[in-house]
Copies of this chain bind each other. A is one copy, B any other.
């Protein structure tokens, strides 16, 4: 798709940091949440990587992704334990020092007593120099944004409040608009028409997703564009194609 006048294309990558995802111990919930959230606010998620809690891996992923996308989000590895190495990795990626941030300590005092503010917990106030804090309304130990990299917790409900907190600071493009149609034929039967439709409407992205329900195969067709007029034209063409082919079909819920 090409950019439309007056809009910018704002893109993102996500780096999920966590041995527990790679070992299958934990099923990640953050990818799906962040993908849907960014799509809704007009930021296009283009790539996700899951890497282990190893400094070198995180540095490599972040440094490869940050020149390629408007934003790089990370989740995980900013807690108080020895396997939380994300903060140091991000500092290393940007070649800056890590400092105990007075504002982060002050935020943590709202949640922890002086006795609870142990050296281990104060690790969570260590922030790469020059980073801006991201508020954590739940347990106060903050995330941060350094350059175009946004560092968030891995615990889903804490990640979610951090994402809300950072959203006002982010550039947004035109939100992606989508229309979905459910066709009651197998993907292989819908394929030739959909290929023609995609050729005729190169600026609308046309996705095809098979499903199996009540022992019958069907196909969800999803049209995506930031341009409402082009999307409407492609949708009309899809309905015409469905009519010509004699398929049973119905408009489906958003994305």
Contacts and interface: CB of A to CB of B under 8 A. Distances in A.
Interface in A157-178: 176, 178
A255 interface: yes
Contacts of A39: 23-24
A242 to B, nearest CB: 15
A189 interface: yes
Number of copies: 2
B36 A47 contact: no
Given A28-B31, A188-B120, A210 B20 contact: no
A178 to B, nearest CB: 8
Main secondary structure of the interface of A (DSSP, over half): mixed
Interface string A168-196: 00000000101000000001111110110
Task: Indicate the member of A32, A40, A123, A190 with the most B CB atoms within 10 Å.
Answer: A32
Interface in A180-217: 187-192, 194-195, 198, 205-210, 212
Given A49-B48, A188-B118, A192-B118, A81 B208 contact: yes
Given A80-B191, A194-B82, A35 B51 contact: no
Contacts of A178: 23, 25
Contacts of A34: 24
A119 interface: yes
Nearest to A38: B24
A188 B121 contact: yes
Interface in A20-58: 20-28, 31-40, 44-53, 57
A233 B26 CA distance: 25
A183 to B, nearest CB: 12
Interface of A: 16, 19-28, 31-40, 44-53, 57, 79-83, 116, 118-121, 123-124, 155, 176, 178, 187-192, 194-195, 198, 205-210, 212, 222, 224, 255
Given A47-B49, A81-B187, A119-B192, 11 more contacts: A20-B222, A21-B35, A22-B48, A23-B35, A23-B39, A49-B49, A80-B187, A80-B191, A83-B198, A83-B207, A116-B188
